[in-house]
Amino acid sequence: MADSGTIIRLLVEKFPSQVEAIELNPKQTAVQIDPRIVVAFFEFIKTHPDLKMAYLSSISGVDMTTNIDIVYFLSSIEYKHKLTVRTKVNRKGGKIDTISTVIKGANWFEREIWELFGVEFLGHPNLTQFLLPDDWDEGPPMLRDWTGRNFVKMPEIGG
Amino acid sequence: MREPAAGYSEEFEVNMGPQHPSTHGVLRLLLRMDGEIIKNAEPHVGYLHRAIEKICENRTYPQCIPLLDRFEYVTSMSTEEVFCLAAERIAAIEVPERAEYLRIIMLELDRIASHLIFLGTFSLDLGAITPFLYCIRERETIMDLFEMTCGQRLTYNYIRVGGVSQDIPEQFLPLARKFVDTFQHRVDDYEALLTENPIFLARTKNVGIVNKQVCLDYGASGPVLRAAGVEWDLRRDDPYSIYDRFKFEIPTGTVGDVWDRYMVRVRELRQSNEIVRQALDQLPTGDIKAKMKPLFKPPVGEVYARIENSRGEMGCHIISDGSTKPYRLKLRGGSFCHTQLIPEVAPGIMIADLVAMFASLDVILPEVDR
Amino acid sequence: MGIISRVPVIAEKIPGGAIVATSLEKILNLSRASSMWYLLFGTACCAIEMMCTGASRYDFDRFGMFFRASPRQADLMFVAGTITYKMAPRVKRLYEQMAEPRYVIAMGGCACNGGPFYYDSYAVLKGVDLIIPVDVYLPGCPPRPESLMEACIKLQEKIKREKLQDWSSDKRG
């Protein structure tokens, strides 16, 4: 099992200017990567004999008001270590390559982020309506400044 | 793979619609059939998308907990646990001993209740009505235990950030011990009805095989992954809470068919019973909640916490910006990945086998839709 | 002799049996109320409580109520669970497929008016009575099995008060 320092060292050696380690609270193994290398990155950590991280737990989209962050969580069944990978795309019209060719389970996670945040995944086999009604025309609803026709915000209690 | 009969045949589409007794919720399966054999199955979800993640961005941390109960209502305790675990990791709060033991007892009783619902509805789908009534009878005892502790039968709002909300009353321990002592014999009853039954074996052996590679590709977890032969249990492999103090086995299957998934869950019933027995024996006295400020305001941070639910891995990604409300809350349930397995496994099987296979995956639709 | 004490009768004892004379309304209402078959339709948490009410401890079968999978064979629909905008047209279609006389019980907070998902949610229908007519509202989150049985008893009382002329004048459903 590789520890946190070894994992980050291996990744930074392979992609020198496009991967950097980041500090998060609480302490966890986390890197920030350039969105253009996303497919090559996941290929590398899936096949490298010391990493073997092929088990995808989740992909989240986060609206950080200046851009949209996409956060991937991976772990390894053989070595039991974990990794958090962050990358940024544009808020309006953001595009990133899909990783569903490398890890099949990413399919529905990416479809959900496309629908709720408006990020396009290039090469995805099936970007169609997923969770929202078929006639939805009010834009990606998970953005922080979104309002819609029947959206009632909870009033602040206590003044 | 079965071959269609010789002669002229035409493919047609069948809608196994949102309202169907064996879809376990509102799932729509668009099936393309050639006679009784399925050529393609496409799941359509979103009929229960209630925007829980958007709502939680405008609620304080304690206000999120009742909403998360409704996210996975069959095992509400585990959703509360994963959320509180994530919040406690960001704020570096230590939970007192007695609260940890109470949490373990509630989580394992919840796991037993969830597997009993699985057993009941699974056998109901295959046509056996008696096990359903037996399982609900046991589950009612567990509901009594929960009701005397927190007042609710289904959505508990019991586990809070820093501990639990109330201590157990005095009638809890005798009833819990009585349940734990008799439960092994009840599981023997269920097995006597189903496990060696020739009709049950014909409908479940070598049906709906999900092998190890497919499971790992799609991120399957929990009993589905263990039935395929991979010994992966987050209680042992990514430890949380105080599970390292209890002795329990991790049952696995071999082939990954419907029978293996059924057997893994039945053996897990016995193991959870053992954990509850050990926890009741070791239960210490003490506080039930850590000393915290009245308004919970964690520091800036981000964490992904995961626990072993009865359906698989349940994960909670919280991003905190230092205020009383979470900036982003993302939930991940095991059923989300398991529903993706259907288009992989369905082609070539008959529709009755699809019903058995889908029931054995134990999917709950709010985990998929949120 | 229980039934005879509860309907307006003129009973005459003849050898080998008894004749009960009552109004057609009373006997039709009584038979319909005592044998409601409900549609297995549950979306969310209230569906689990509905299942538990039909099972071991709180048995529904003693009221004559039994679940049916197809709306064509059911006369009662429990709307148990949250209804979203995506699901709403399907609920309406299910209601239209039920044969008259048909009744609806809105079970739980979500079916009554949106429940805990009223505020801040972009996809939840705020009450099922916006699309189908409801006979009994049952609040709770989720309502206990005893509450559900109370709602069924209230519905039975409502059915027993129905008048025969309402059938032909199209005032029902």
The ipTM assigned to this model is 0.91
Does A59 score more than 80 pLDDT? yes
Does B126 score more than 70 pLDDT? yes
Higher pLDDT, A139 or B274: B274
Does B303 score more than 80 pLDDT? yes
Tokens of C27: 């006997």
Does B228 score more than 60 pLDDT? yes
Dihedral angle sign, alpha carbons of residues B5, B9, B10, B14: negative
A144 in any annotated domain: no
pLDDT at residue number A158: 61
Does B122 score more than 60 pLDDT? yes
Could you tell me the residue range of the domain that residue A29 belongs to? 4-90
Q: What is the pLDDT of residues A77-112, one digit of tens each?
A: 888 888 999 999 998 888 899 998 999 989 999 999
Other beta carbons within 10 Å of C126: 17
Q: Give me the total of CB pairs closer than 8 Å, taking one residue from chain A and one from chain C.
A: 23
Phi-psi region of A90 (alpha: psi -120 to 50; beta: other; left: phi over 0): beta
Q: How far is C92 from chain A (nearest CA, A)?
A: 15
Residues of A in contact with C85 (CB under 8 A): 133
A55 in any annotated domain: yes
Q: Tell me, yes or no, if B348 comes closer than 8 A to chain C by beta carbon.
A: no
In contact, C126 and C114? CB cutoff 8 Å: yes
Query: Which residues on neighbouring strands pair with residue C38, listed in sequence order?
Result: C67, C76
Mean pLDDT of B254-262: 91
Question: For C18-39, what is the HEC assignment?
Answer: EECCCCHHHHHHHHHHCCCEEE
For residue B110, the one-letter residue type is D
Mean pLDDT of B102-113: 94
pLDDT at residue number B4: 58
- Residues with Cβ within 8 Å of B88's Cβ and at least 6 positions away in sequence, in order, are B94, B95, B161, B162
Other beta carbons within 10 Å of B365: 24
Tokens of B137: 């009878």
- Residues with Cβ within 8 Å of B6's Cβ and at least 6 positions away in sequence, in order, are none
Mean pLDDT of B51-66: 91
Mean pLDDT of B252-276: 92
Lowest-pLDDT range of A71-75, B203-207, C20-24: C20-24
Q: Do B219 and A107 touch (CB under 8 A)?
A: no
- The number of folded domains in chain A is 1
pLDDT at residue number B161: 92
pLDDT at residue number A159: 43
Does B165 score more than 50 pLDDT? yes
Query: Which residues on neighbouring strands pair with residue C17, listed in sequence order?
Result: C14
| Class of the domain covering C36-161 | alpha beta
Tell me which chain C residue has its CA closest to the CA of residue B136: C56
Mutation target for C interface from B48, B79, B146, B153: give the one with most C CBs within 10 A.
B48
Q: Do C120 and A134 touch (CB under 8 A)?
A: no
pLDDT at residue number B284: 92
Residues of B in contact with A26 (CB under 8 A): 89-90, 92, 301, 303
In degrees rounded to 5, what are phi and psi of residue C154?
-60, -40
Mutation target for A interface from C90, C113, C122, C130: give the one with most A CBs within 10 A.
C122
Q: Do A132 and C123 touch (CB under 8 A)?
A: yes
Other beta carbons within 10 Å of B348: 12
Crossing angle of helices B172-194 and B130-150, rounded to 10°: 160
In degrees rounded to 5, what are phi and psi of residue B306?
-140, 145
Tell me the residues of chain B between 55 and 84 that have a Cβ less than 8 Å away from chain A: 57-59
Tell me which chain A residue has its CA closest to the CA of residue B312: A57
Share of chain B above pLDDT 90, in %: 60
Give chain C's residues under pLDDT 70.
1-18, 167-173
| The dihedral formed by the CA atoms of A11, A14, A19 and A22, expressed in degrees to the nearest 10 | 30
In contact, B42 and B343? CB cutoff 8 Å: yes
Query: Which residues on neighbouring strands pair with residue A74, listed in sequence order?
Result: A56, A83
Tell me which chain A residue has its CA closest to the CA of residue C89: A133
Average pLDDT along chain B: 90
The span from the CA of A128 to the CA of A147, in Å, is: 22
Tell me which chain C residue has its CA closest to the CA of residue A116: C122
Does A50 score more than 90 pLDDT? no
Q: Do C141 and B155 touch (CB under 8 A)?
A: yes
Query: CATH 3.40.50.12280 spans which residues of chain C?
Result: 36-161
The CATH number linked to A47 is 3.30.460.80
Q: Do B46 and A154 touch (CB under 8 A)?
A: no
Residues of B in contact with A141 (CB under 8 A): 51, 54
Tell me which residue in C47, C49, C117 faces B55 most closely, judged by beta carbons.
C117
Does B85 score more than 70 pLDDT? yes
Q: Do C119 and B58 touch (CB under 8 A)?
A: yes
Q: What is the pLDDT of residues B304-360, one digit of tens each?
A: 999 999 999 999 999 999 899 999 999 999 999 999 999 988 898 998 899 999 999
Residues of B in contact with C90 (CB under 8 A): 17-19, 47
Residues of A in contact with C119 (CB under 8 A): 152-154
pLDDT at residue number C173: 46
A157 in any annotated domain: no
Does B158 score more than 90 pLDDT? yes
Q: Do A56 and B313 touch (CB under 8 A)?
A: no
Q: Tell me, yes or no, if C126 comes closer than 8 A to chain A by beta carbon.
A: yes
Share of chain A above pLDDT 70, in %: 97
Does B7 score more than 80 pLDDT? no
pLDDT at residue number C120: 86
Tell me which residue in A26, A141, A153 faces B92 most closely, judged by beta carbons.
A26
Query: Which residues on neighbouring strands pair with residue C67, listed in sequence order?
Result: C38
For residue A8, the one-letter residue type is I
- Residues with Cβ within 8 Å of A16's Cβ and at least 6 positions away in sequence, in order, are none
In contact, C136 and C106? CB cutoff 8 Å: yes
- State the chains in contact with B (3 or more Cβ–Cβ pairs under 8 Å): A, C
pLDDT at residue number C2: 59
- Residues with Cβ within 8 Å of C129's Cβ and at least 6 positions away in sequence, in order, are C106, C112
| Domains delineated in chain B | 1-49 (no CATH), 53-362 (1.10.645.10)
In three-state secondary structure terms, C6 is helix
Tell me which residue in C55, C90, C116 faces B70 most closely, judged by beta carbons.
C116
Does B202 score more than 70 pLDDT? yes
For residue C170, the one-letter residue type is D
Tokens of B302: 């981000």
